[in-house]
Amino acid sequence: MNRFKLIVATLATCLLALPAVAEVKIKEVVSPGGITAWLVEDHSIPFTALELRFRGGTSLDAPGKRGAIYLMAGLLEEGAGDLMAQDYAKALEALAASFSYDTSKDTTSISARFLSENRDEAIALLSDTIHQPRFDQVAVDRVRGQVLSGLRSDTKDPNEIAGKAFAAMTYGDHPYGTDGKGTIDSVTALTRQDMIDAHKAVFARDRLYVGAVGDINAEQLGALLDTLLGDLPESGAAIPGPAEVTIPGGVTVVDFDTPQSVALFGQIGIDRDDPEFFAAYVMNQILGGGSFESRLMTEVREKRGLTYGVYSYLVPRDLAAVYMGSVASANDKMAEAVQVIRDEWRRMATEGVTEKELQDAKTYLTGAYPLRFDGNGPIASIMVGMQIQGLPIDYIATRNDKVNAVTLEDVNSFAAKLMDPDGLHFTVVGRPVGLESSAQ
Amino acid sequence: MIKRIAWATAILSTSWTTAAIASEELVSSFELNNGMQIVVVEDHRAPVVQHMVWYRAGSADEPKGQSGVAHYLEHLLFKATDKLEAGELSATVAANGGRDNAFTSHDYTAYFQRVASDRLELMMSMESDRMVNIRLTEENIVTEREVILEERNQRTDNNPRALFREQANAVQYHNHRYGVPIIGWRHEMETLDMDDALSFYGTYYAPNNAILVVSGDVDPNEVKSLAEKYYGVIPANPDLPERLRTEEPPQTAARRMTFKDPRVAQPYVQRSYLAPERDSGDQETAAALFLLAELLGGGTTSYLANALQFEKQTAVYTGAFYSGMSLDDTTFSLLIVPSEGVTLQEAEDALDGAYAAFLEDGVDAEQLDRIKLQLRASEIYARDNVDGIANRYGRALTSGLTVEDVQAWPDILQAVTAEQIIAAAKQVLQPEVSVTGWLMRDEEVSQ
């Protein structure tokens, strides 16, 4: 039972420490076949973490096929080559390797870890998984049943209801406006051929990013990459264009009979490559970035006891940027929580932050940076995130300088420009007393 | 005296083409004069340390009528002390680039910071301070009580599955405190006050009831001298009560329950059995139950998945769970989430049928070998996350186990035979000690 659950901002990586510096020596490796990867060699434990990420994610679903890519990713562990699902699982168990799959709006990821002593066998199995997934009809139906069960549960989950409503309002018909898991109707209608098409849409070399960490050297990694990925097609489905963001100020109440209301709130955000991004990042840390000391936690939880947790987070996705937050509060307290949060939004816009807040935030952000590099898997994932964001390979050594370079004037002029208390929208799911949907 | 414990040599398999992993000394343990136990797990790959203090005091140690006070007190430990203002500890950790938090369970309460390794002394100075010096105000008491009630809302009252589990757990235990939720019953949480919190604090927060677990880039000798400086000077509590809890009488009646809630979208059946936990020096039955859970419900290749998801499509999900780390009797649970169109009765019958067939068929030797092989490999992967190893020791030492028991566990698991697993299943999974629960949509009619 944690004191609170941290919500990690969607920011990828950052910096160097003020105390000791995490030394992460990244090497760029280009395989003989021309595949680029970032590598951190560490031979102290005899295994390797390999992260493969393909840009596009569930936003590549074909029209009318919502949920196809999510279902396809769920089927990758359901048999490949000559092995049907259970024999495939047994083969993986016998190698003591693990492959996991994840899809988001922007990416599809494969996270693998395998022992040094049977690396070749593990890679052969992973290669079959990527190139020859079986998509047996019986497996399609079985996994579809699991997805549908999850979708049915989502219809009664206040957090899911809030997320769907906020996304639909914000992004409309753009793929960001709907759930990548699909709907009960769309998933029910998916066919085996749709899985084959979704597979083709996602896995291609022109959108591939690779990170490897652990007991492997550059030469071994190069050979492995060609075996594993050399035969991928050059290109896949076209990535959609940017989403238009529409967030009117106000409140939407979605009626749901539950004792505690759940709210998502948000406004327009800022792109990751915007020159003011670090000013925004520091500002958010002070407002609601996940520590006990944030203004939102202080005002909503510590002083008033209105919630167990309240957070704000920048969401700079590939195709749109928003600034979001979340809170949960008993039905008879949500109205006050909403008011306090909107007041804090206004205070940030009009008063900005203090020099002490700025210094504390910088010390925290720079000091916390090396704590992220805490294992082969996390480091591989961070390196892939850096590549996707177009950051240079020496970024880790310079990131803290970027945080430290942010001035009080940078934060406060940015806050005055971005923070829009009247444009902030709250989507509340529950039976909040004294809150009603604003007139549209 | 620092006792260094050799990390168990992980050898993957004798029948495997394998290089033995070099034995490494990762774990040290020792004890201060005031009775505080210390465990150090080393990893020098990054200049980071995790500093934790675990108390042998959890929700199952609470007085009657004060459910939730252990967890409430955990929140209140972030308020003022003689030396620190309210919130200053967390703010100081953050100002040093670290993260801190705490958690409470049935058998323990633990506090931790994760920070650059050269800040270890600062962490110890603050954590040792709040072991005995908190200063609460009436305002803290009132506001933080609102926070824990919102936490209960979020974790439990807003979630029908959590409400269902809470009821099932209460039905499982006739007389033991494990039947009471860690977060507390709402009506009792609402009455928690300053005296309740300080009484629990005064009784249980003392060095002779605490374990310091430090993991990461540290030297055990340095940890020892710092610990002596900060924790060693705190006197032991001579009145620390023996950890005796009301015990379960023999359970002689199979129990059934239905729980209905309009917020349920996916009904399912859950059955739990009262089961023995890992006991110090006697972990063999627990090891057999651990492997039984893996064989029955450990993923795609497990017995229940094969019978109920592959051979027949009765279920969208099946599972088996056993958590042996517990001071007193724990549970072994089975779960089946029926496919669309399958009733809960049909699902339960199918589950019963599959389990009976498992006993009839016996253990699949190849499956058992694969599970054991993965357990050996997991010891290699575990070295990539020494904080995880540290947590393992913290939980074990607050659950009645010793460092030696933790070290022995991997070998005990490897030594378990198919016959022992079946014997443990027959001994433990008895209807008389079971609770079968149906989580239902509100409109559904039970039969």
Condensed to tens digits (0 to 9), the pLDDT of residues A122-154 reads: 999 999 999 999 999 999 999 999 999 999 999
pLDDT at A440: 60
Higher pLDDT, B286 or B14: B286
Q: Do B99 and A371 touch (CB under 8 A)?
A: yes
Q: Which residues belong to CATH 3.30.830.10 in chain A? A: 27-229, 250-369+392-430
The answer to whether residues B306 and B217 belong to one domain is no
CATH number of residue B111's parent domain? 3.30.830.10
The answer to whether residues B177 and B283 belong to one domain is no
3-state secondary structure of A207: helix
Residue B445 has pLDDT above 50, yes or no: no
Provide the CA B376 distance to its chain's centre, in angstroms.
22
Measure A151 CA to nearest chain B CA, in Å. Answer: 9
Count the Cβ atoms, other than its own, within 10 Å of residue A235.
11
The answer to whether residues B225 and B280 belong to one domain is no
Least CB–CB distance from B46: residue in A304, A366, A373: A373
pLDDT at B26: 86
Considering only CB atoms, which chain B residues are within 8 Å of A144?
A: none
Residue B15 has pLDDT above 50, yes or no: no
Q: Do B97 and A305 touch (CB under 8 A)?
A: no
The answer to whether residues B216 and B272 belong to one domain is no
Q: Do B46 and A360 touch (CB under 8 A)?
A: no
Give the containing element (helix H, strand E) for A210.
strand A208-214
One-character DSSP codes across B60-124: GGSPTT-TTHHHHHHHHTTS-BSSS-TTHHHHHHHHTT-EEEEEE-SS-EEEEEEEEGGGHHHHH
Condensed to tens digits (0 to 9), the pLDDT of residues A76-123 reads: 999 999 999 999 999 999 999 999 999 999 999 999 999 999 999 999
3-state secondary structure of B232: coil
Going from the C-alpha of A353 to that of each of A325, A348, A423, the distances in angstroms are 19, 7, 20
Least CB–CB distance from A375: residue in B90, B151, B384: B384
Measure B119 CA to nearest chain A CA, in Å. Answer: 8
The answer to whether residues B261 and B137 belong to one domain is no
Whether the Cβ atoms of residue B404 and residue B62 lie closer than 8 Å to each other: no
Q: Which ranges constitute the DSSP H helices of B281-417? A: 284-297, 303-305, 344-361, 365-382, 386-397, 403-415
Mutation choice for B interface testing from A308, A369, A379, A428 by most B CBs within 10 A: A308
Domain A27-229 has what CATH class?
alpha beta
Mean pLDDT of chain B: 93
Considering only CB atoms, which chain B residues are within 8 Å of A90?
A: 301, 366, 370
Give the nearest chain B residue to A294 (CA atoms). B91
Residue A291 has pLDDT above 90, yes or no: no
The answer to whether residues B375 and B422 belong to one domain is yes
pLDDT at B158: 97
pLDDT at A22: 53
Q: Do A89 and B301 touch (CB under 8 A)?
A: yes
Residue A12 has pLDDT above 50, yes or no: no
On whether any CB of chain A is under 8 Å from the CB of B17, the answer is yes
Whether the Cβ atoms of residue B318 and residue B335 lie closer than 8 Å to each other: yes
Considering only CB atoms, which chain A residues are within 8 Å of B144?
A: 305
Least CB–CB distance from B90: residue in A145, A293, A371: A293
Q: Do B118 and A20 touch (CB under 8 A)?
A: yes
Q: Do B316 and A20 touch (CB under 8 A)?
A: no
Measure A37 CA to nearest chain B CA, in Å. Answer: 22
Query: Which among B411, B434, B444, B404 has a CA at the least distance from the CA of B333?
Result: B434
Considering only CB atoms, which chain A residues are within 8 Å of B157?
A: 258-260
Gap between the Cα atoms of B447 and B436, Å rounded: 14
3-state secondary structure of B407: helix
3-state secondary structure of A311: strand
Least CB–CB distance from B158: residue in A158, A305, A377: A158
Residues within 8 A of A (CB atoms), B 195-254 only: none
pLDDT category at B17 given cuts 50, 70, 90 is very low
Q: Do B158 and A291 touch (CB under 8 A)?
A: no
Provide the CA A184 distance to its chain's centre, in angstroms.
24
Give the nearest chain B residue to A356 (CA atoms). B95
- CA angle, B221 then B126 then B132, to 5°: 105
Give the nearest chain B residue to A78 (CA atoms). B300
The answer to whether residues B57 and B148 belong to one domain is yes
Answer whether residue B277 is part of any domain. yes
Gap between the Cα atoms of A121 and A112, Å rounded: 13
Strands (E), B1-47: 3-5, 27-31, 37-42
Q: Do B158 and A258 touch (CB under 8 A)?
A: yes
The answer to whether residues B408 and B315 belong to one domain is yes
Measure A225 CA to nearest chain B CA, in Å. Answer: 23
Q: Do A366 and B299 touch (CB under 8 A)?
A: no
The answer to whether residues B285 and B221 belong to one domain is no
Q: Which ranges constitute the DSSP H helices of A318-430? A: 334-351, 355-368, 376-388, 395-404, 408-418
Whether the Cβ atoms of residue A65 and residue A256 lie closer than 8 Å to each other: no
Q: Do A145 and B158 touch (CB under 8 A)?
A: no
Higher pLDDT, A6 or B393: B393
Q: Do B99 and A329 touch (CB under 8 A)?
A: no
Whether the Cβ atoms of residue A372 and residue A382 lie closer than 8 Å to each other: yes
Residues within 8 A of A (CB atoms), B 265-304 only: 265-266, 299-301
Condensed to tens digits (0 to 9), the pLDDT of residues A166-221 reads: 999 999 999 999 999 999 999 999 999 999 999 999 999 999 999 999 999 999 99
Name the token pair of A210: 């690779």
List the domain range (segments joined by +) for residue B74: 32-230
The answer to whether residues B220 and B318 belong to one domain is no
pLDDT at A19: 38
Average of per-residue pLDDT across B375-392: 94
Positive/negative CA dihedral, A349, A345, A13, A365? positive
Domain A250-369+392-430 has what CATH class?
alpha beta
Residue A68 has pLDDT above 70, yes or no: yes
pLDDT at A136: 98
Residues within 8 A of A (CB atoms), B 167-196 only: 182-183
On whether any CB of chain A is under 8 Å from the CB of B78, the answer is yes
Least CB–CB distance from A376: residue in B12, B147, B384: B384
Gap between the Cα atoms of A63 and A315, Å rounded: 25
Task: Work out the burial of residue B361: count CB atoms within 10 Å of its CB; fewer than 13 is exposed, 13-18 middle, 19 or more buried.
Answer: exposed
Q: Which residues contact A172 (CB under 8 A, 6 or more apart)?
A: A244, A246
Gap between the Cα atoms of B48 and A374, Å rounded: 8
Name the token pair of A400: 């803290």
Whether the Cβ atoms of residue A176 and residue A167 lie closer than 8 Å to each other: yes
A-B Cβ pairs (cutoff 8 Å, strict): 217
Residue A407 has pLDDT above 60, yes or no: yes
| Strand pairing report for B37-42 and B3-5 | unpaired
Query: Which among B195, B198, B214, B4 has a CA at the least distance from the CA of B110?
Result: B214
The answer to whether residues B180 and B299 belong to one domain is no
Average of per-residue pLDDT across B124-145: 97
Q: Do A293 and B91 touch (CB under 8 A)?
A: yes
Q: Do B45 and A42 touch (CB under 8 A)?
A: yes
Measure B158 CA to nearest chain A CA, in Å. Answer: 6
State how many domains chain B has: 2
Gap between the Cα atoms of A268 and A246, Å rounded: 8
On whether any CB of chain A is under 8 Å from the CB of B310, the answer is yes
Gap between the Cα atoms of A97 and A88, Å rounded: 12
Gap between the Cα atoms of A377 and A374, Å rounded: 8
On whether any CB of chain A is under 8 Å from the CB of B145, the answer is yes
Measure A121 CA to nearest chain B CA, in Å. Answer: 12
Whether the Cβ atoms of residue B18 and residue B11 lie closer than 8 Å to each other: yes
Measure B33 CA to nearest chain A CA, in Å. Answer: 31
Condensed to tens digits (0 to 9), the pLDDT of residues B167-221 reads: 999 999 999 999 999 999 999 999 999 999 999 999 999 999 999 999 999 999 9
On whether any CB of chain A is under 8 Å from the CB of B341, the answer is no
Higher pLDDT, B9 or B223: B223
Condensed to tens digits (0 to 9), the pLDDT of residues B313-357 reads: 999 999 999 999 999 999 999 999 999 999 999 999 999 999 999
Which sequence positions of B are flagged as catalytic?
Answer: 74
The answer to whether residues B374 and B425 belong to one domain is yes
On whether any CB of chain A is under 8 Å from the CB of B337, the answer is yes
Name the token pair of B369: 């070998």
Q: Do B116 and A369 touch (CB under 8 A)?
A: no
Answer whether residue B24 is part of any domain. no
On whether any CB of chain A is under 8 Å from the CB of B74, the answer is yes
- CA angle, A176 then A59 then A30, to 5°: 130
Q: Do A330 and B153 touch (CB under 8 A)?
A: yes
What angle do the packed helices A218-229 and A119-131 form, to 10 degrees? 30
pLDDT at B447: 41
pLDDT at A15: 29
